[in-house]
Amino acid sequence: MNSIYEVRILIVDDNIDLLHLLCEQLSGAGYRQIQTAQTCAEAKKVFAAEKPELMILDINLPDGDGFSLFRSLRVEADIPALFLSARDADADRLFGLGLGADDYLTKPFLMQELLLRIQHILQRAYRTELAGAGKKTLKLGKRSVYLNDALVTMPDGSCTALTATELALLRKLAENRGHLVTFDALCSAVWGVDYYSYENSLGVHIRHLRQKLEERPSTPRFLITVRGIGYKLVY
């Protein structure tokens, strides 16, 4: 596992529209291995076949409840889990957390909040595995970038998360440290061979990346533009 975006995610919910929305949002955030189920029975089959590394579980399911499902699946593998439910009573939330779930979010919810909670759960749960992938830390002035965790540590000790696109761009630039990486090469590394519709957004992502990496983004010290050709990372 080289980054949190490689984890296998299982979402269990009987609301098909919500399942589609969650898959769309998670894919847009950079997660590529997403499986779904609408019942406890389906979830058990998918769990056995795919060996997920994160579970997102509804509580009210047609053939059972998410609490019981969580307990049965946890016997098979001790993986992180987040309950996503319309049950907003304190007793339900505390019961779910008491079972060993990593988080509990009530519906309706902000999608960005869910994505941040998922990111934090994965960073905590798989820190050892990610660190074991090798040294993936960049030191940019007073800021440290942990590529495996997709995090930037600021001079004041706070942390800022990198998006999947920002992480992919930074990895490509770091692989070619001190050397020019053309616009085409960056786009291809992030979006694949069919990147043409994304070319105009490259500059936007670079600008956002500079805001996280540079003390003065308008006069960058590390992420340098080679006008009309591409970018290079110097550190």
Q: What is the per-residue pLDDT for 192?
A: 78
Q: What is the per-residue pLDDT for 131?
A: 60
Count of CB atoms within 10 A of residue 153's CB? 16
Q: What is the per-residue pLDDT for 130?
A: 63
Strand segments, DSSP code E, in 72-180 are: 81-85, 103-106, 137-140, 143-146, 151-153, 159-161
* Correct CATH for 137-233 of 1.10.274.10, 1.10.10.10, 3.40.50.12780, 3.40.50.300: 1.10.10.10
pLDDT in tens, 30-45: 788 999 999 999 999 9
In this prediction, what percent of the chain has a pLDDT beyond 70?
95
Q: Rounded to whole angstroms, how far apart are CA atoms 168 and 162?
A: 9
> Which residues 6+ apart lie within 8 Å of 175 measured at CB?
none
Is-contact 4 119, C-beta < 8 A? Answer: yes
Count of CB atoms within 10 A of residue 216's CB? 8
Q: What is the per-residue pLDDT for 30?
A: 77
pLDDT in tens, 186-224: 988 888 767 776 677 899 999 999 999 999 999 999 999
Strand partners, 36: 11
Task: Give, in degrees to the nearest 5, the angle at Cα 224 between 212 and 157.
Answer: 25
Q: Rounded to whole angstroms, how far apart are CA atoms 157 and 169?
A: 24
Three-state DSSP string of 156-167? CCCEEECCHHHH
CATH number of 4-128: 3.40.50.2300
pLDDT in tens, 102-116: 999 999 999 989 988
Give domain limits for the chain: 4-128, 137-233
